[in-house]
Amino acid sequence: MKRFLSIAALFAFVAVSVFFVTGTARADEIKMVGVITVIDMVGKDAKTATVTLKDNDTGKDVVVIINDELTLDKLKDHRIVLDDEIRCKYEVIDGKNVSSYFRKTAGC
């Protein structure tokens, strides 16, 4: 019986720890829709790009950093260009808006 209680207590401790660690480690994801006003990529072999979007709701400019290869390829071969409307999700990491989702609203 003692062994069962100790295993149950250990399991409960691990479950609670995982819940709190994963809950605090993930930053809040911010969603927005906006029009691209600036695309800044350095060279064809760029591993990151900086894109400025004008938020449709607030009218403010939001600078987003793009790291994923799929979106970088779309920027490089001009499938995503200036004045495209974009649906974006990003997280604020070290004071920078890092994209986790970046797609045209009409699809791409």
pLDDT tens-place values along the chain, 108 residues long: 777 666 766 666 666 665 665 544 455 899 999 999 999 998 778 899 999 999 999 999 999 999 999 999 999 999 999 999 999 999 999 999 999 999 999 865
Instruction: Note whether residue 11 is domain-resident.
Output: no
Token couple for 21:
């660690």
- Residue 95 phi/psi, 5-degree rounding, is 80, 5
Lookup result for tokens 């045209």: 104
At 24 the pLDDT is 45
| CATH number of the domain encompassing residue 67 | 2.40.50.140
When divided into structural domains, the chain yields a total of 1
At 50 the pLDDT is 96
Pairs from 66-72 (Cβ < 8 Å, separation ≥ 24): 66/99, 66/102, 67/98, 67/99, 68/99, 68/102, 71/99, 71/102, 72/41, 72/46, 72/47, 72/48
Residue 80: which domain range?
30-104
Instruction: Note whether residue 25 is domain-resident.
Output: no
Q: Which pTM value belongs to this model?
A: 0.71
